[in-house]
Chains A and B, each alone.
Chain A
Amino acid sequence: MMRLFISEWQRLWKRKSTWLMFAAIPLIVYAAGSYFQKANEQTSSALPQYSVFGNFSILSFEEMLMTVFNFMVIILAALIVTDEYRSGQLRMVMLRAYTFSKLFWAKGAVLTGLLFLFTCFYFVCSYVAGFFMFPHAERFPLFYRSEMVDMWGGLVYNLAFYGLGFLSLLAFVCVMLLISVAGHTTTTTIGVGLGFYLFSLMYPYVCSYFQPLFGNEVYMKIFFSSIPMIQWQGIVFMLAEQPRYVGWIVGVLCFYLFVFGGAAYVLFTRKDRWI
């Protein structure tokens, strides 16, 4: 299994697209920094939206998680799974003495490992950018918390935020694994992946028109059944002074992990491979 993982991992780093994504991270962080510098001009420094060295890491990650990171998952799933599978490249690996189950786990592990690396790199880059681009406030406010935190408290909060953000990415990875195993071309995988993403962005807003019918509690549960909405608002709710919807959000993420991940596994290991 380890040999399979190393072989997949090695191949991944021979792709230019992997290096391009990796190289893009500092630029994305810088772009986010420039945006938040401008936003600071019109924001009160007493608000948690005001960027300082200690909170820039999560303010920028929150934005990039639901856009750039999700797009990375879509592209990587299309390249690592659909492209290799449907072009016949993976056939050479499938003809080796490994079960399809092991190959599936290796693919999943490689995708997860790469995203973990990207997330860690983003964390480091955003701290470096925050150091040079934003004021060094000794204490700063956080969302839905009455007490301000110092740098150390902020770091712990940031790590928890990144951890939950990474968990939400894993849920999206499972969705994309299913789409990429079922997709016959990379275009299909990217198209359906983007479609799923846009649908996840839109249906909470469409449902907001019917909020008076559902009631607030049901509406919030619908809102937090969407991965991008969990990434945008849900994580902050979970890390609030009085955490809200924690059980619901964890349940939703587990649903995506097990239902979509399980379906992708069954499809990959059981279906005939006409490649």
Chain B
Amino acid sequence: MQPILQVQQITKKVRSRTLVKDVSFDIQKGDICGLLGPNGAGKTTLIRMLTGLIAPTSGDIFVSGMHMQKERQNALVKLGAIVESPVFFPYLTGRGNLRNLVRLQPNLSKKEQIEQVEETLHIVGLTSRADDRVGTYSLGMKQRLGIAQALLGKPDFIILDEPANGLDPMGMRELRELVMELHKRHGITFLISSHLLDEIQKMCDHLVLLKEGELIWKGQTQELAGEGGNLEDAFVEMMVR
């Protein structure tokens, strides 16, 4: 089966600095893959390349078999993403933001657009606060709305960049349950970047580890955590090697 994401020897240089160096990995359909690494490891830079916001200096990225640089428009059709923290149009309500964005989905009638927004709000549990301005939302609600905007267009694959950042334990739990639910019910594949090992271990079945822009490990979560199941020890060991 064709992987939903293929990253082939990606390198990103900015002037003399190499931010990401020769990174290659695949994600299969149905996986929840964690992208782990300390701050400055190149996670967000890699995600920006995966979503076509920046171009790699060399290498290729394929999403659902489509080349991100050459066929970006098609590659994004079934891809949803939050890159860095979700930023919304502050003068619009939660529903207003989603309605504005759902217009950009191809081949949806007005009725289908409204239905999709309501369905998405229901999935992320924001229906009751949908008519409040985004400026009044808590960080957790903004993350949920971020996931909601990523869900518009019913994507097969969602990339979440540090989704648990700044969330309290309850918020983290809700987010985890939402991701698991979406994976289970809708069969969505996820790539989740984080440095919160506990959360990643609970959610992800596969891991990709980055350090100083280089891929240092990839495989199944259980494989890295070992028999003791302690991902933190294994991660620290990897990072100090």
Contacts and interface: CB of A to CB of B under 8 A. Distances in A.
B106 A88 contact: no
Interface in B224-241: none
Contacts of A91: 53, 83-84, 87
B5 interface: no
B88 interface: yes
Greatest chain A CB density within 10 A among B51, B72, B104, B106 is at: B104
A142 B137 CA distance: 58
Contacts of B79: 95
A99 B83 contact: no
Interface stretch (B95-103, B166-174, B183-191, B201-209): B95-103
Interface stretch (A2-10, A43-51, A66-74, A130-138): A2-10
A176 to B, nearest CB: 21
A95 B81 contact: yes
B106 A97 contact: yes
A98 B77 CA distance: 9
B55 interface: yes
Given A16-B91, A273-B48, A94 B104 contact: no
B88 to A, nearest CB: 7
B149 interface: yes
Given A99-B72, A273-B53, A88 B87 contact: yes
A82 to B, nearest CB: 14
B103 A7 contact: yes
B197 interface: no
Contacts of B104: 3-4, 7, 93, 96-98
Interface string A53-75: 00000000000000000000000
Interface string B64-82: 0000000011101101110
Interface residues on B, range: 20 to 34
B105 interface: yes
B91 A92 contact: no
Contact of A274 (B48, B76, B97, B106): B48
B54 interface: yes
Interface of A: 3-4, 6-7, 10-11, 14-16, 84, 87-89, 91-99, 272-275
Given A92-B97, A94-B53, 16 more contacts: A4-B104, A6-B103, A7-B104, A11-B89, A11-B92, A14-B96, A92-B149, A95-B51, A95-B53, A95-B76, A95-B79, A95-B83, A97-B73, A98-B104, A99-B73, A273-B48
Interface of B: 48, 51, 53-55, 72-74, 76-77, 79-81, 83-89, 91-92, 96-97, 100-101, 103-106, 149, 153
- Give the 6 A-B CB pairs with smallest separation, nearest first: A88-B87, A272-B54, A96-B104, A97-B76, A273-B53, A7-B103
27 contacts: A3-B103, A3-B104, A6-B103, A7-B100, A10-B100, A11-B89, A11-B92, A14-B92, A16-B91, A84-B89, A88-B85, A89-B88, A89-B89, A91-B87, A92-B87, A92-B101, A93-B104, A95-B51, A95-B79, A97-B76, A97-B77, A97-B104, A99-B72, A272-B48, A272-B53, A272-B54, A273-B53
